[in-house]
Amino acid sequence: MLYELTTLGCKLMSVGEASEAARAWVSAPEASGTLLGCWRTDIGTLGRLIILRGFTTREDLAAERKRALLSASPFNAGPAVESLSMEGYAPFPFLPPIRAGAFGGIYEFRSYRLKPGGIAPTMAAWENAIGPAKEYTDHLVINMYALDGPERITHIWGFTSLDQRAALRADAYAAGVWPPKGGPEEIIEASSAIGVPEAYSPLC
């Protein structure tokens, strides 16, 4: 499975309009891929709509990317959208595929730009840490590495609240099981955003 993370930069009062337009786009008969989640940002840069889809082949992902790039109104959003980015990813191979369902309603999107050659050691560090930090990593939806652009990873987490997130992270840090040993040394730049799922999001 491959994934695409699409971010629509919307006019602040037009996120709902863009969301319904994007919903129609990803469910159109000619669309490929499977909608896994759709969120609007609540902390971080506001006015962003984040869409996660899964693809069984690179060809399907490329075809859907081409459909958007050649459209006069990608994701049907028209003037409601002022910017668009589409990022292709492959999952860390030791993680299970994304499963739809309820993760608590508060989602964190963390992206790390890595040093050149940083993906392999980062992946190894995460593989070693997943088990010992299980109480925290049970909330991991996916971690994945970019197929294009700068070397980077993006991981998505689901929590019932920001308080739960803070408590789990504090406990994992205090126990010495997180962050993954050897992982932070590969990071050049990090960013984080909190999103809440749209009503139609399979990840909710």
Block means of pLDDT (10 residues each) for the chain, length 204 residues? 98 97 98 97 97 97 97 96 97 95 96 98 98 98 97 98 98 98 97 98 98
Q: So what's the pLDDT on residue 54? A: 98
Q: How many domains does the chain have?
A: 2
Calpha distance 70→56 (Å, rounded): 22
Helices (H), 96-200: 119-130, 134-137, 162-175
179: preceding bond cis by omega (within 30 degrees): yes
Same domain, 56 and 73: yes
DSSP state of 74: G
Q: So what's the pLDDT on residue 180? A: 98
Q: So what's the pLDDT on residue 30? A: 96
Q: So what's the pLDDT on residue 103? A: 93
Calpha distance 172→158 (Å, rounded): 16
What is the longest distance spanned by two Cα atoms in the chain? 52
Q: Which of 70, 90, 110 is the C-terminal boundary of a domain? A: 90
Calpha distance 39→96 (Å, rounded): 22
Element (H, E) at 59: helix 58-69
Calpha distance 106→85 (Å, rounded): 22
* Residue closest to 42 by CA, chosen among 198, 147, 168: 198
Q: So what's the pLDDT on residue 78? A: 94
Q: So what's the pLDDT on residue 109? A: 98
Question: Quick check: is 149 in a domain?
Answer: yes
Range of the domain at 42: 2-90
CB 140 within 8 Å of CB 175: no
Calpha distance 198→201 (Å, rounded): 5
Same domain, 103 and 193: yes
Q: So what's the pLDDT on residue 49? A: 98
Same domain, 146 and 121: yes
The tokens of 86 are what? Answer: 């589409």
Calpha distance 183→150 (Å, rounded): 17
Calpha distance 133→143 (Å, rounded): 15
CB-based burial, 64-80: b 16+ in 10 Å, e otherwise: bbeebeeeeebbbbeeb
Which residue in the block uniquely carries the two structure tokens 């959003």?
77
CATH number at residue 55: 3.30.70.100
Same domain, 77 and 117: no
Same domain, 140 and 69: no
Same domain, 8 and 74: yes
pTM: 0.96
Q: So what's the pLDDT on residue 20? A: 98
Q: Are strands 140-146 and 106-114 parallel, antiparallel or unpaired?
A: unpaired
Question: Quick check: is 128 in a domain?
Answer: yes
